[in-house]
Amino acid sequence: MRHLANNSYIVIMIFVTIIVTGCFSQKQYKETRFMMDTIVEVTAYGPNSEQAVKAAFNEFQRIHDLANSFDEESTISNINKSAGIKPVNADPEIIYMIKRANSMSDKLDGVFDVTIGSLSHLWGIGKKGEYVPALGEVSAILQKVNYQLIEINETQNSVFLPKSGMMLDLGGIAKGYAVDKALEILKQNGITSALINAGGDVRVIGKKPDGQPWRIGVQHPRNSEGISAKLALTEWDTMETSGDYQRYLIKDGVRYSHILDPRTGYQPRQLASVTIVNNNSGDGDILSTAVFILGAERGIELLKQFPGNEAIIVTAEGKTIVTPGLEGRVELSVN
C-alpha cells in the first residue's frame, strides 16, 4: 500500500495500486490478474463482492478469448487465417466491435484501423524481444491495412478479409468493451460501489464506501512512481488511456511502443500518453489511440468533433496538457 501526498488515489499504471482509507462496514473484495496484455484490477464492496468480482473476471476472459489475435484458436485468428480464402462465422460481439471501430474510422480519416493486425504481428512488441522490422517489411505490410475492405455479412454472421495476409487486431477496442461488460456483471450482482482499472481503462460504480468520489491519479509515463494529474471520477465518467509506457522496447536509444500509426506502420513520437475522460460515450478507447497518433494540436482539434470527450495529454517532453472541459477538475502534479 502506497500513499500519495495527503490523499488517496487510484494510480493508472501497469502495476496498479488501489488505496483505500478508513474503516468501512461493507465487505471489500479486490482481485488482480494479468489479462489482455495488461494488469486488470477489480475492487468491489458489498456482501456479494467476491462472487461479483470473479464473475467480472470471467467476462474479461470471455471477451479476451473471442478477440485475442495471438491465440490460434480464437475467432479473430480464424478470420485472419482465412483471409483471401473464405468468410468465417463470427460471434455477433466480434461483428459489433468491428462495425463500431469502422464507423469511428470513417470519422477519423483512417487514423484508427482494426486491420492493423499484420503490422502488430510484424512488430510483435512484447512478443519478439528487441525486433525492429526493416523499412521494406513495413512497406509491404502496409498494403494489407485497409479497414474499408472488410466484408461483413450480418445475415450469416460472417467476416471476410479479401486480401491474403490481412489481419484483424481488436486490441484498440476489445479492452474497453470488456471493461464495460465486466461493469455490467458487477451491477447485475448487486454491487453499488466498485472500481475497475484495466491498464488505464477505468470505470466506477457509485462512490467509495465513505461517500467520497473515486479519486484517480494518471501515471506519469516516464516515472512509474509518479503521477501527472489527479481528478475525481463519478459514475457518469469513464477514462481510457493510451500510452507508450506499458508495452514497448528500447533499441539503440529509441523507444518503440505497441501503438502503431496505420498510415505509416511506425510508432508516433509526439506524445507519451493520452487519457480520455468522457460521459460514457463508448468512444474513449478509440479516441485515446487516435489522439495519441495525431499528436496534441491535431488531437485536440479532433476532440472538438466529439462533444463530451476531454483529454489529459502528456507529451514526449513531459508537458501535461488538459483540454478546456476538464479545467477546474484536474490537479496537475509536479514530478
Q: Domain boundaries in the chain?
A: 71-171
d(CA 335, CA 333): 6
Q: Which of 20-34, 221-235, 298-312 has the lowest mean pLDDT?
A: 20-34
- For the stretch 255-292, pLDDT in tens is 999 999 999 999 999 999 999 999 866 788 899 999 99
> Rounded mean pLDDT of 188-207?
94
Q: At what angle do helices 49-67 and 171-188 cross, to 10 degrees?
A: 150
**Average pLDDT of the segment spanning 222-247:** 86
pLDDT at residue 281, as a whole number: 64
Residue carrying the nine cell digits 508516433? 268
Res. 334: pLDDT tops 90: no
DSSP letters, 19-62, are ---S--SSPEEEEEEEETTEEEEEEEESTTHHHHHHHHHHHHHH
The mean pLDDT of 69-76, rounded to a whole number, is: 87
pLDDT score at 226: 83
CA 229 distance to own-chain centroid: 18
The predicted structure's pLDDT at residue 105: 94
Which residue, among 137, 146, 201, 188, has the nearest Cα to 168 in the 3D structure? 146
Q: What is the pTM of this model?
A: 0.87
pLDDT digits (tens, 9 = 90+) for 120-168: 999 988 777 778 999 999 999 999 999 999 999 999 999 999 999 999 9
Buried b (16+ CB within 10 A) or exposed e, 102-129: bebbeebeebbbbbbbbbbbbbebeeee
Give the residue, 67 or 236, on which the prediction is more confident. Answer: 67
Q: Give the Cα separation of 297 and 310 in Å (integer).
A: 14
d(CA 292, CA 195) in angstroms, rounded, equals 25
Query: Mean per-residue pLDDT for 176-204?
Result: 94
State the DSSP code for 325.
G
| pLDDT for residue 1 | 34
pLDDT of residue 280: 65
CATH superfamily of 71-171: ApbE-like superfamily (1.10.3980.10)
The band of 15, judged by pLDDT with boundaries at 50, 70 and 90, is very low
Lowest mean pLDDT among 137-141, 219-223, 300-304: 219-223
Residue 18 has pLDDT above 60, yes or no: no
The angle that helices 92-107 and 284-294 make with each other, rounded to 10 degrees, is 40
Distance CA 96, CA 75 (A): 14
Q: What integer best gives the mean pLDDT of the chain?
A: 88
